[in-house]
Chains A and B, each alone.
Chain A
Amino acid sequence: MSDETKKREIFICRSTGCNSSNAGHIQDLLAKRIAENNLNVAIKKTGCHGFCQMGPIMVIQPDNVLYVQVQPKDVDLIVKNHLKDNNVVEKLLYTDPESGAKIKDMNKVNFYMHQKPIVKEHFGKIDPESIDDYLEVGGYESLKKVLSEYSPDDVIEELKISKLRGRGGAGFPTYLKWTFARRSKGQPKYLICNGDEGDPGAFMDRSTLESDPHSVIEGMVIAGYTMGSNQGFIYTRAEYPLAIDRINKAVDSAREKGFLGENILDSGFNFDIELKTGAGAFVCGEETALMASIEGKRGMPRPRPPFPANSGLWGKPTNINNVKTYASIPKIIAKGGKWFADIGTEESGGTIIVALTGNINNSGLVEIPLGTPIRKLIYDIGGGIPEGKKFKAIQVGGPSGGCLPAKFLDTPMDNSNLTKLGAIMGSGGFIVLDDETCMVELAHFFIQFTQTESCGKCAPCRVGTKKMLDLLTKIKSGQAEMEDLDKLENIANFVKKTSLCGLGQTAPNPVLTTLKYFRDEYIAHIKYHACPALQCKDLIQYNIDPEKCIGCTLCAKNCAVDAITGVKKEPHKIDESICIRCGLCYSSCPSNAIYKTTNEYPTEEGGSE
Chain B
Amino acid sequence: MTEIVGKISDVEIQDLDEILEKHKEGKGNNVTLLQLIQNHYGYLPDYALKYVSSKLKIPLAELYGVATFYAQFSFTEKGKYVVTCCDGTACHVKGAPLLIEYLEDQLKIKSGETTDDKLFTLETVACLGCCAISPVIVINDVYYGNLTLNKVKKILKKVRKKASESTEAKE
Which A residues have a C-beta under 8 Å from some C-beta of B? Answer: 16-17, 19-21, 51-53, 55, 197, 199-203, 206, 238-240, 276-282, 293, 295-299, 355-359, 363-365, 395, 398-399, 429, 431, 433, 437, 442, 445-446, 449, 455, 560, 582-584, 587-588
| 30 A-B residue pairs with CB within 8 Å | A20-B143, A21-B133, A52-B132, A52-B133, A53-B146, A55-B132, A197-B129, A200-B92, A200-B127, A201-B131, A279-B34, A279-B70, A280-B71, A280-B125, A282-B126, A296-B28, A299-B69, A355-B131, A355-B132, A357-B131, A357-B132, A358-B90, A359-B93, A363-B134, A364-B132, A398-B89, A442-B92, A445-B92, A582-B101, A584-B102
Q: How far is the CA of A293 from the CA of B69 in the complex (A)?
A: 10
Collect the chain A residues with CB atoms within 8 Å of residue B92's CB.
200, 442, 445
Collect the chain B residues with CB atoms within 8 Å of residue A398's CB.
89
Supposing A200-B89, A431-B89, A431-B90 touch, asked if A17 and B149 sit within 8 A by C-beta, the answer is: no
Which B residues have a C-beta under 8 Å from some C-beta of A? Answer: 28-35, 65-66, 69-73, 87-90, 92-94, 98, 101-102, 105, 125-134, 136, 143, 145-146, 148-150
**B42 to chain A: closest CB distance in Å?**
14
Collect the chain B residues with CB atoms within 8 Å of residue A365's CB.
132
Q: Which residue of A lies closest to B92 (CB)?
A: A445
Given contact pairs A279-B70, A588-B150, enumerate 13 new A-B contacts (beta carbons under 8 Å): A16-B129, A17-B145, A19-B143, A201-B127, A238-B35, A281-B69, A297-B30, A298-B65, A358-B94, A363-B132, A398-B89, A446-B89, A588-B149
Q: How far is the CA of A356 from the CA of B89 in the complex (A)?
A: 12
Collect the chain A residues with CB atoms within 8 Å of residue B150's CB.
587-588
Collect the chain A residues with CB atoms within 8 Å of residue B88's CB.
200-201
CB pair B93–A358 under 8 Å, yes or no, is: yes
CB pair A200–B93 under 8 Å, yes or no, is: no
Q: How far is the CA of A365 from the CA of B129 in the complex (A)?
A: 11
Q: Which of B98, B101, B129 has the most CB of A within 10 A?
A: B129
Collect the chain B residues with CB atoms within 8 Å of residue A358's CB.
89-90, 93-94
**A19 to chain B: closest CB distance in Å?**
8
Closest 3 CB pairs of A and B: A200-B88, A20-B143, A296-B29
Q: Which residue of B lies closest to A206 (CB)?
A: B129
Number of inter-chain CB pairs below 8 Å: 145
**B105 to chain A: closest CB distance in Å?**
6
**A192 to chain B: closest CB distance in Å?**
15
Collect the chain A residues with CB atoms within 8 Å of residue B133's CB.
17, 20-21, 52-53, 55, 363
CB pair B35–A298 under 8 Å, yes or no, is: no
Supposing A16-B129, A16-B130, A203-B130 touch, asked if A279 and B89 sit within 8 A by C-beta, the answer is: no
CB pair B31–A279 under 8 Å, yes or no, is: yes
Supposing A202-B127, A298-B69, A358-B90 touch, asked if A587 and B148 sit within 8 A by C-beta, the answer is: yes
Collect the chain B residues with CB atoms within 8 Å of residue A363's CB.
131-134
**B123 to chain A: closest CB distance in Å?**
11
Set B93, B125, B129, B130: member contacting A431, Cβ < 8 A: B93
Supposing A17-B132, A277-B35, A363-B132 touch, asked if A445 and B94 sit within 8 A by C-beta, the answer is: no
**B69 to chain A: closest CB distance in Å?**
4
Collect the chain B residues with CB atoms within 8 Å of residue A588's CB.
149-150
Collect the chain A residues with CB atoms within 8 Å of residue B136's CB.
20
CB pair B71–A583 under 8 Å, yes or no, is: no
**B37 to chain A: closest CB distance in Å?**
12
**A557 to chain B: closest CB distance in Å?**
12
Set A203, A281, A455: member contacting B71, Cβ < 8 A: A281
Q: Which residue of A lies closest to B73 (CB)?
A: A279
Q: Which residue of B lies closest to A283 (CB)?
A: B69
Supposing A298-B66, A587-B148, A587-B150 touch, asked if A203 and B129 sit within 8 A by C-beta, the answer is: yes
Q: How far is the CA of A528 from the CA of B21 in the complex (A)?
A: 64
Q: Which residue of B lies closest to A300 (CB)?
A: B69
**A455 to chain B: closest CB distance in Å?**
8
Collect the chain A residues with CB atoms within 8 Å of residue B101's CB.
582
CB pair A357–B90 under 8 Å, yes or no, is: yes
Collect the chain B residues with CB atoms within 8 Å of residue A282's CB.
126
CB pair A21–B145 under 8 Å, yes or no, is: yes
Q: How far is the CA of A201 from the CA of B134 in the complex (A)?
A: 9
**B81 to chain A: closest CB distance in Å?**
17
Q: How far is the CA of A201 from the CA of B143 in the complex (A)?
A: 16
Collect the chain B residues with CB atoms within 8 Å of residue A197's CB.
129
CB pair A240–B89 under 8 Å, yes or no, is: no
CB pair A359–B94 under 8 Å, yes or no, is: yes
Set A21, A200, A203, A356: member contacting B126, Cβ < 8 A: A200
Collect the chain B residues with CB atoms within 8 Å of residue A279's CB.
31, 34-35, 70-73
Q: Which of A16, A53, A279 has the most CB of B within 10 A?
A: A279
CB pair B93–A442 under 8 Å, yes or no, is: yes
Q: Which of A299, A431, A582, A588 has the most CB of B within 10 A?
A: A431
Q: How far is the CA of A607 from the CA of B150 in the complex (A)?
A: 38
Collect the chain A residues with CB atoms within 8 Å of residue B90's CB.
200-201, 357-358, 431
Q: How far is the CA of A52 from the CA of B69 in the complex (A)?
A: 33
Collect the chain A residues with CB atoms within 8 Å of residue B94's CB.
358-359
Q: Which of B29, B30, B71, B148 has the most CB of A within 10 A?
A: B71
Collect the chain B residues with CB atoms within 8 Å of residue A206's CB.
129
Supposing A201-B127, A202-B131 touch, asked if A587 and B149 sit within 8 A by C-beta, the answer is: yes
CB pair A583–B98 under 8 Å, yes or no, is: yes
**A273 to chain B: closest CB distance in Å?**
15
Q: How far is the CA of A365 from the CA of B130 in the complex (A)?
A: 11
Collect the chain A residues with CB atoms within 8 Å of residue B98's CB.
582-583, 587
CB pair B31–A583 under 8 Å, yes or no, is: no
CB pair A281–B105 under 8 Å, yes or no, is: no
Q: How far is the CA of A296 from the CA of B130 in the complex (A)?
A: 28
